[in-house]
Amino acid sequence: MIKLRLKRFGKKREASFRLVVTNSTSRRDGRPLEELGFYNPRTKETRLDTEAIRVRLSQGAQPTDTVRSLLEKGGLIERTIRPGETVGKAKQAAAREAVIKAAAKEAADAKAAVQEAAAAEAKAAEPEPAVAEA
C-alpha cells in the first residue's frame, strides 16, 4: 500500500518534515518514492505540490492522520468527520446534558427548601387563638 506520510529531518529538537510518498512497509526516514511538500511545525510553514498530491490520491495513496489534517487545511481534500469524533462529541453532549439536569434539580431542591422554610416561619408567626377556661 502506498502512503502519504511525513519524513523527519532537521536538527535535534528542531524537527521539520517533508511530505513524501512511500511504501507502507518502509522505514519512516527511508528513501521515498517522491517528495511532495514540506511542513515546519515551529513556524507552521507548509508548502505542498498540489498537482502531484492529487495524482497520488487518485492512484489510491492513503494519507496518515497528520498528513490528512495538513491536506484539509490546505484545501486539497474535504474535511471528513471520523467515527471517533462523532462518538466523542456524542459523549460530550450527554455529559453536558447530565450537568445541566443536575444543576436544574439542585436549583429546584433549593427553591423548595426556601419555600418550605418560609411556610414554617409564617406558621410560627401566626398568633395562637386564646383558649377560654371554663
For the stretch 54-111, pLDDT in tens is 999 999 989 998 999 899 888 888 887 766 667 778 888 889 999 999 999 999 999 9
The percentage of the chain sitting over the pLDDT mark of 70, rounded to a whole number, equals 91
Sign of the torsion formed by the C-alpha atoms of 63, 67, 69 and 74: negative
CA distance 64 to 56: 14
- Higher-scoring residue by pLDDT: 132, 86: 86
Count CB atoms within 10 A of the CB of residue 35.
14
Closest CA to 5 of 72, 24, 13, 14: 24
pLDDT value at position 108? 92
The reported pLDDT for the residue numbered 131 is 66
Strands in 34-40's sheet, in edge-to-edge order, are 45-48, 34-40, 14-23, 2-11, 62-63
Rounded mean pLDDT, 42-59: 90
Asked whether the beta carbons of 2 and 61 are under 8 A apart, the reply is yes
**Out of 65-69, 99-103, 123-127, 129-133, which region has the weakest mean confidence (pLDDT)?**
129-133
Q: Which cell numbers hold the place of 107?
A: 436549583
